[in-house]
Amino acid sequence: MSTENIEQQVKLYGQPLSERFGTVVQAYGITQRRLAEVLGLSAPMLSQLNSGRRIKIGNPAVYERLVMLEQRIGTPDIEEVLAAVEASQPVLSTTQIQAGIHSETNAVAALAHVVPRHELEAALDLLGETAPTLAKVVRLAVRESQNQQAASDREDARR
């Protein structure tokens, strides 16, 4: 697994594809081979993306199917969801909300700017694994706050 490739995946998709694929596989109780079929990818390509040997999902429709699966986690009729997503012909538009949280998002930047880092860290401790998506946003805000502080320190050092 290439650390650089995984870092690129995080920049593109908000987290490593292995985590996103793993969440979907676990939520739907399917194999990676079945996930590849639903997404419209070959199993070897999914494996390469999963391991970080490849960085990017080349086909936007495949990515959109992944987002569709993520958005429908918890839907009672799993087979119906899988069949509908597999049969879909999604078209991406610039107004769609992408799944995956990036450090550039407004929520992350706002938290990092408004909430003191020690409060973010305390909130992260309290959240634990009970709210993983919210914990991820707070974790990214902590990192953003650290980056802002480092930039401020560098600026002060230049003066």
**What are the structural domain ranges in the chain?**
3-87, 106-158
CATH architecture of 3-87: Orthogonal Bundle (1.10)
In whole angstroms, what is the distance from residue 74 CA to residue 149 CA? 39
What would the two tokens of residue 113 be? 């700017």
So what's the pLDDT on residue 149? Answer: 80
Q: Report mean pLDDT in 10-residue bins for the chain, 159 residues.
A: 86 92 96 96 95 91 92 92 89 45 61 85 85 82 82 79
Which residues have CB under 8 Å from 96's CB, separation 6+?
64
Which residues have CB under 8 Å from 104's CB, separation 6+?
none
Sign of CA dihedral 147, 152, 153, 154: positive
So what's the pLDDT on residue 103? Answer: 47
In whole angstroms, what is the distance from residue 2 CA to residue 111 CA? 31
Q: Which of 12, 11, 39 is nearest to 25 (CA)?
A: 39
So what's the pLDDT on residue 99? Answer: 43
- Other C-beta atoms lying within 10 Å of the C-beta of residue 112: 22
